[in-house]
Structure 1
Amino acid sequence: MNTKTPIDSFSFRRILARNVTLPLVIGVVTALVFVGLIAYLLSALRSVEHSERVIGNANEVMKLSVDLETGMRGYLLTGDETFLAPYKSGKAKIAVEMNTLLELISDSPIQVDRLRRIRALQGQWMEYAEAVIAQRRSNQEFLARVRQGEGKLEFDEIRREFLTFLSMEQRLRQERADTAESRTMLAVVVFLVLSLGLSGLLAYLGRRELLRLSDIYNDALEQRGKDNDVLQEQAWLRTGQTELAAHTSGQLGLPQLGRHVLDFLAHRLEVAVATLYVVDDDGSLRRTAVYGFNEQGVKDKQVFKLGEGLVGETAREKRLKHIKQLPQDYLTVTSGLGHGAPLELVLAPVNNEGVVNGVIELGFTHPVSERAKEWLHLIAANVGTSLEAALYRQRLQNVLEETQQLNEELEVQQEELRTANEELGEQSRVLEQSQAHLEEQKAALEQSNEQLAVQALSLDQKNMAIGQAHAQLEARAEELQRASRYKSEFLANMSHELRTPLNSSLILSKLLSDNTSGNLTPEQVTFAQTIYSAGNDLLTLINDILDISKVEAGKLELNPEAVPFDELLSSMKMLFGAQAQQKKLGFDVKVAPDAPPSFVSDRQRLEQILKNLLSNAIKFTDAGTVSLHVSTDAAGQVRFQVQDSGIGIADDQQQKIFDAFHQADGTTSRRYGGTGLGLSISRDLAALLGGSIELASTAGQGSTFTLVLPHSVPEHAPEAAPAAVAAPSAPQPTTKPAAAAAPKAAPAVKPVPLPTFQDDRDSTPAGKTGQRSVLVIEDEPSFAGILFDLAHEMQYRCLVAHGADEGLRLAEEFLPDAILLDMGLPDRPG
């Protein structure tokens, strides 16, 4: 029985006045005191902030002074105008910064006087700096003034004055901060004492009434809480039903519906594993959807008869089963961190109008509450109705598909009958028209029968001849394809075999032309340089011929990737800027403002085309400008425009220059050189990338080559046209190239020859060396010997391997600093 006395209205109003009105009044007073305190703090902060600004501006002026002195000294030491950049920039800013600083310290006469002295000293130093810089520009003697320390005294005095200026400002800032801190602390202490005192008094006076109110309201809240628990329980059950209905709404198929139901149950009841069985037409229960099963669980038994196992018994008994303490190996719950058995199992039948049409099996890793089981009872009819609707839609879909198939067959038959009727009608009209001519043609037919028999015999003979010719053409096509493949393989193999001795000649001729020992005459050095130049030309020709053979044989594979225009043009500018500068040509590279930042293409092939076009432009231009502009047209295609002011191309030569081995100068003088394959290869590569090369030129006025490419490489790039025309291609590197990509014709593994020289492996401890080492993997002993001698000449230890297996073993054992690798090794490709 509740014995607490209810509180009257007068006492309640008194409590409100004491605990609401009075705290509000005190709060207003406190707010006013707090606003005053904040106002004072803001004033103190403004004074400190003013000092900070003065110090910052002073530091900036000091930094500008140092930049002036540093720029001047850098220019005096190097004579490079770029070192005057900080000097010029500081000279333009220091006067503005000095005036700003004078305005900030206008309230301090001492600091104003000191800053004016600094400005005067700065002016004297600037006069000295301008004079010395002028002497350095006119190559007059200036070092004597620098050695005498002229200008140093003024700069040191400026530094000392600045340090004194900063020290005084820092002291003022500290004094202002200390004053603000002490006054603020005093105000805060007084404020806290008053606030805590009044708050304690109010708390003591109102505590008794509030405690009594609290006891009265606690009883009411406790009763209200019990009522809320019951309502929340009912709301949880009804909300679950509503959310399940929304989750399974729509025209879902049976598998999708089952998956939606299990996903919702797993989320609502924290289920670890779950499965749904649906009754088939034969009365068996077939698994339709699963949740949380591992691979083995998915493969387990999927069909149960009525009364078979727990699933079948649940359907037969039409009641929920709750199994506790499952065996350890009953079922496995698997995740990325481990696996284990569920703790409890619940099997719930679902029904449609009292008829069971499915069973839901749920595995829990925690005890199942009564609320969860009650909710499963409530949703059984909802899930069963949804399953029945999905089954009905499935059966209806099957009937609809059968009906559509029958309709299609009927339409086909009707179309065939209509066509037949039209043909019969046409034949009837033809028969009626020809009836009158039959008698006249009868006699003519009898005479022509004999002629037709003779012609039929002749046609049979011609058909046999045509068949034989067709067979011969197919055989010839196979022979041509085989010959093309053999030619590509031959070129690939020959390019490798030619490169090995050619690289030896290049290296030896380069060593001779360097004449490090100084024992060759100038004429012999010239001979060696001629051999080196001719070898490079031959290597370029081999690479170009190999590229053309790859294109013709269809062996080039494209690797599409995003190509940023900025990176591509930077690479071209780096490669050809020096060449253009060497010939005193202007070289302009830019991208149109409306062009996208990148596009998709094969970057290696694109760069090969641009290198050929830019190399030709620089080669055939003696004066003027070479430019590379990138833009997009209305169709979204990317246009690379290479324009020069060189010799130009006559109209009758504009198609011929794309022929293989066609050169701008075909005479014996060969002013321009080159292989004559660059433009032919470029045109074929452009076709592979799905684009083309356009040419506009006038003899004597320069040329414009435009490479037009799609915004992305097509999935099936068009085949390249047969090799036709090329201007001299870009020079290839003279280092040893990789072997051709075309496959060799099943080379037999030849025995590894023994070295004809002594390498350094016996004198190189495994894993460490006092000298850098290089590993040469080369099956040609003579060329390996050349590389061995070259490594020693460059102060390297050298290890030599004649096969891939031996090279791998030496690389793992000695860990060399570098490896020279032959791409065409006898035992396996490099």
Structure 2
Amino acid sequence: MRLTFQRQVLLGISFSILLVLVVGYVSYDAILLQQENDGWVDHTREVMRVSTAVKNRLLSAEANVRGFAITGNGAFETNYLQATSEIWKDLEALRILVRDNKVQSTRVDSLSGLLEDRVGLMSRQYEILKAGKYSMDTIQRIVLQGKEVSLKIEFSFRRIENLEEGLLTEREQLASKSSARAKQCIVMGSLLFILVILLLYYFIRKTYLAQLASEKAIQLANQKLEALALEDHEKNWILNAAMELSAAVRGEPTLTELSERLLHKLGQVTGAQVSAMYLVTRSGNVLERAAVYGLPAADSAPAYISFGEGVLGQFAADRGDVRRLEVAQGYLQVKTATGHSAPGVVLIKNISFDGSVAALIEIGYLQDPGSKLVKLLSMVSDNVAVAIMAARAREIAAELLEKTQLQAEELESQQEELRVTNEELTRQTSLLQVSEEELRVQQEELKQINTELEEKAFMLEEQKSTIEEARDQIQLKADELERSGRFKSEFLANMSHELRTPLNSILILSRILGENKGARLNEEEQRYASVIYNSGNDLLTLINDILDLAKVEAGKIELVHEHISTESLLVEVRNTFQKIAENKGLELAVEKTGSCPDMLLTDHTRLLQILRNLISNAVKFTSAPGRVSLTISEADGYLHFEVADTGIGIPLEKQASIFEAFQQADGSTSRKYGGTGLGLSISRELASLFNGSISLRSTPGEGSVFTLKIPYLTESDEQPARQEPVAVAVAPAQPVAVPPASENGKAHRLLLIEDDTIFAADMASKAQGSGFEVVIASSGRQALEMVTGFDPTAIILDMHLPDMSGEEVLKALKNDSRTRLIPVHTVSSGDYFDEEMIKNGAIGFMQKPVDERSAQHIFSALKLEGKDLGQQRILLIEDDAYQSKYLGDFLAGNNIFVLYAYSAAEALSLLGTDRVDGIILDIRLADMNGLDLLDTIKENPQWSAIPVVVNTAEDLSQADLSRVMKYAHPVVIKTKKSNERLLDEVKLFLKKIQPKVQEPEERKESFSNAVVNAERLFLGKKLLLADDDMRNIFALSAVLEDAGFSIEIATNGKEAINKLEDYPEIELILMDVMMPEMDGIEATRRIRQVPRWANIPIIAVTAKAMQGDREQCLEAGANDYISKPVDVDKLLSLIKVWLHAA
């Protein structure tokens, strides 16, 4: 039976599908086998990996036991315990992996027993070492036993690994064979499939060629019929298209609308890709673009074409009918979203009316449209020409109508008497007839309008000129204000200098008189000197107030927001004014309302400055028996600080002026109350920095109420909720157990200052477990009363207490010579940390709640700090071990505790874990340049206040010197390795960082002692004093000569240089900055340019005390800087330091 073509194809496709299924099944089976073999290979590798992990855990445990035995370091102990626990986890994983292999499972069980023996031996060794009671024989015996067990374990591991390696080789071979079989199946199946496809192709092509010959005979017969049908279709198409084009131009469209309609319909009917239509302008010799169709942009076709210009212009000039063009590349562009191309054929058709060119149509086709398009255009050209001329006539009529209406409206708006004429013009415009007389009248009216417009333009020009003059005047005023502000700043700086200069002499000489060293003054005369000294200090305070006001007005003060307790703020205000109010017989009330929050986010310093100004005024202007109160509340997102008094009150007409500088309610010469009148001015300016205000309500004779109103800032994500403190009285208790003594012979005694009884009990229990004897105080006052009697070695201080703030307690502890060396660690329920706490003496801060680990960290830090109680701690950073040991022994012999660091990394580590009072730094280090380390230390807020002595034998360049001297005074450059000089430097800055709590008599005594001690060092030294003010020269000369110096005096910079030429034995220069002829800055620069004077110490002295003075002096070459009024103690210390350096 012969198969049909369809069945042959179906049979071939069926056989192909069957073949694909068979090959697919065989390949799938081979792939599954390969995956199974690969899985066993991975299983064997995992067994070997886990076996290696168990072995490594054991080696890690052995290494950490040895490390613990050698060093006793707790880190080795932690690592050992972790390694032993991980051994059993990995062993259990190994047992699970080999449970399919009985031999391996048996060997793992044997290995487990050996590991238990080895871990047991290590545990015995660890327990003996930890107990500290052992003999070397015992340790050696355990070690030998461990080695024997380790050898057995190593043998067991080797047996397990050898078996697994054999299995791995066998399984990898099976996997390779499976892979090769899968590849063979796929290749053979593919070849069979290709063969079947080729056979199918042969049969299908043979049948197709036979059918194709039959179809060609039929096509020849159909072509004759199609030619006849095509001709009829073309005629019908031309007629239909002509009707559609004629319909498109009918109606009353504008020329643009008519052109767009025509081109759009041409594109639809003829399939044109692009086209453009140009109309002849009214001038008759220019073609104007009316519409485009399908072009990428309007500027692709020129807007105007003159007759004779280009192809279109020449065609119009020749008055041709139709022109067919073969288009060159780039002539026209047909663009779509996917590309662009040039049309193949362009037709240009002339639309003429009465023998004249009315329009040109340019049409582009990608393919030749044939002759039917030319016939169509010829058929519709007359209709289009008529439509164009009709549209142009309508356009001209509309323009004339619009022009006439516009002229009529303009004339009607100018004069009412022309209304009749304008109405006549409106009627005439409807008939499109305008007489020559009417046009003349219109031109005259237009001239009149133009005249009026010119007059208005002239007036506008005059107004513009006036505005420009006013703007120039405003700019001049602004420049004058800027100059006046600059003159004010310069005036304040100069006045500060002029006031501080004589004030310097007053303070120094009155202090010398008050000491009465020669016992030449009686008690009353000493009192006079004391009054002069105190008055000078009051004047200095006034100068500083004036400068503060200038800074506020100049906007040079920025607010630093921090979290403060409302209660601590009230306590601070109460402590400040309680005694003053009691002395005046006044009642002082400080309170907050229920709406007031417990914590505030604000600038503590500036807020307290405002409150102090307001309350001090209230106290000053209130007489006994009176009352002064401060009330804090919150409403509508603002904090209200209300200061009320029952004083004299302020008249209404004076209430506005008292906020001005140097103004008081009573400004007469006979006023009863003193003061500068600056307090309220500064307060008002500071309040504006807070975006707040100060208001006043006052009645004369009844009192005044000042209200400070500032925005209430909240940061809920940074300020956790705080429990209200519960005030409970906890009596000092005896410790539960007597703790062991500390290394310095004193028991560890902890004073816990905490008002939260639950937290206090928890911390006390943890402290007792760490060996502390604990006593609890529930308030700040109770703690200060107990501290001297209990004599603690450490203190934990809560920052929120019911009666005092934590800062006040910390300051009180550090200002008392009996308690200032006791280490204090602070805790708080809020994010209360501040750099000032560290600067004030706290060793650290911890946020509640405190877990066991954190508590132990606190106790360890307190024990470490208490161990060297009474000693100050110096961090010695020196890479030379011999030099480090030598300097360390020298400092230790002077009761200074030394921490050693031989690299920058060790130094940073010690700074992060230990308390450091000062640093001695060598520039030359192995892992980091010493100056880079100095930058790192000073950029860290926790370490920036630590004083540094740079100790090096190298000569520093000017750049390196400037880099070091940009830091605070405690940073002193050393140019020689003098241990005695180094000790003086260290003692000097250690003395500076100690709190000063001396009474006036003690200060006098210390000054006298300083002078007496200095006399031995300064005796016979020649010093150059450069100053143009004879009062300063007299005062400083008296002090320096009394100290043993021989003084040479210069009154300007030139004279100072001449003195150096005349007296080469001068060893130090005191250089005033502001002097005539040549100032101190220029003189310092010139001195440094002379090589033989390059190392003479120069201390700059200035009375300006403005920002940038210190940097300017150091940049010029000065070694140090001191401002007037000169602190004699500080001056003598600086001179001593720099004489050593020289």
Same fold (TM over 0.5): no
TM-score range, shorter chain: 0.3 to 0.5
- TM-score, scaled relative to structure 1: 0.38
Q: Which has the higher contact order (CA 8 A, sep 6+)?
A: 1
Structure with bigger gyration radius: 2
